[in-house]
Chain A
Amino acid sequence: QVQLVESGGGVVQPGGSLRLSCAASGFTFSSYGMHWVRQAPGKGLEWVAFIRYDGSNKYYADSVKGRFTISRDNSKNTLYLQMNSLRAEDTAVYYCAKDRTTVTFDAFDIWGQGTMVTVSS
């Protein structure tokens, strides 16, 4: 079935780095744009980043621009989020999500289960 499985979360000190992965299955991964969305504990949803189906375009929220990098390996059906210079305010559950369309960004029709990132000393 269609599935997204995130991994790579954990506890990291302020200023540290983490790389999240999202393994996709059950659909043609290389045909769809992909997003990262996060949710701080007890808070609402915040869009983080988007990458086009072919990796040619990437967009970021201002809060992570210059620190986070979204990428994908279509040969491995995997989405990544490299997070550097982490701050306490980056503490959140990070979800990967599939875009509903192929060309641009639209809605997130499939979500992973999320992976928790805690930035703390």
Chain B
Amino acid sequence: DIVMTQTPLSLSVTPGQPASISCKSSQSLLHSDGKTYLYWYLQKPGQSPQLLIYEVSNRFSGVPDRFSGSGSGTDFTLKISRVEAEDVGVYYCMQSIQLPITFGQGTRLEIK
């Protein structure tokens, strides 16, 4: 199985400040079809997860442009340019290049 490792596991950020979460995979997520199968989700308190970023860097419909994704191969980063109160929750990276689909442990973002 591909192991997804997120750091840090928790983050406390002042509103308006940036935040960054790292995700490393145990194998390359670059497929022969040219796609990189790395995704980011946010699970807000008491809610279902929601898709933020697909294929490393593409914002899903309705996701604010303060969220951005980058990386390649096995190293990926989610950045929030200016954290807002509504961004609190747990962020997960996920790979689907290979079954079983696996998630990172999650990174809890709180507001200072």
Number of A-B residue pairs with CB-CB distance less than 8 Å in the complex they form: 53
- Majority DSSP secondary structure for residues of B touching A: strand
CB-based nearest A residue for B52: A107
Please indicate the chain A residues that have their CB under 8 angstroms from the CB of B101 in the complex.
35, 47, 50, 105
Q: How far is the CA of A54 from the CA of B73 in the complex (A)?
A: 32
- How many residues belonging to A are interface residues under a CB distance threshold of 8 Å? 21
A44–B105 contact, CB under 8 A? Answer: yes
Q: How far is the CB of A43 from chain B (nearest CB, A)?
A: 9
Q: How far is the CB of A69 from chain B (nearest CB, A)?
A: 17
Please indicate the chain B residues that have their CB under 8 angstroms from the CB of A114 in the complex.
48
A111–B48 contact, CB under 8 A? Answer: yes
- Against B, the Cβ 8 Å flags (1 = close, 0 = not) of A27-63 are 0000000010100000011110010000000010110
Please indicate the chain B residues that have their CB under 8 angstroms from the CB of A105 in the complex.
96, 99, 101
